[in-house]
Amino acid sequence: MHLTLKIKNTYKLQLLTVLMIFSFGLKAELALNDPAPDFELLDQDGKSHKLEDYNGQWLVLYFYPKDDTPGCTTEACSFRDDIYKIRELKTKIVGISTDDVESHEKFAKKYSLPFPLLSDKGAVVAKSYGSAVRVGPFKMAKRHSFIISPSGKIAMIYRRVNPSTHSNEIIDKLKLLTSSN
């Protein structure tokens, strides 16, 4: 029994040490009221977009894995179909994935998307929002969304997104957020 207890304690100590070593290199996940990480990326038309371009207005920043795939198309088309409701709430919407500008251009034209799709080829911005994932040799964006306040702070974080209902979820939250300001 004494030997078993010593082995368990040694194992716990080793596990704790490993966790501490790995945690030093990790960035803390974004939280509500944190400043939104800055970005500068090109859209489907080659136009540069920066976070500061949206100062003074509400912004929905949504990350998605891949242009023209079923879930991503559903989500983008739902935002397209609800664009007037989103605009009524004085809010802009921007999509970000690791696809290139040309892919975004085709996707936006095919589905008549009336908002910018930004190209984050290296997943640098996705990583700064805790929304990057590596799939084999490829870096992709996870399906996450962020509502950013007019002052540039994170007002809402969505880490679990259903592409079919997400646009309505965003609109409902924006109604609450914008009515309190």
> Known catalytic residues?
72
Paired tokens of 64: 């998605």
Encoded tokens for 30:
């974004």
* Distances in whole angstroms, Cα of residue 69 to Cα of each of 55, 76, 85, 113: 31, 10, 25, 15
Q: CA–CA distance from 90 to each of 18, 77, 151, 170, 178 (Å)?
A: 47, 19, 14, 13, 8
Identify whether the C-beta of residue 68 lies closer than 8 Å to the C-beta of residue 62.
no
Bridge partners (DSSP) of residue 35 are: 153
Determine the Cα–Cα distance for residues 122 and 102; give it in Å rounded to an integer.
15
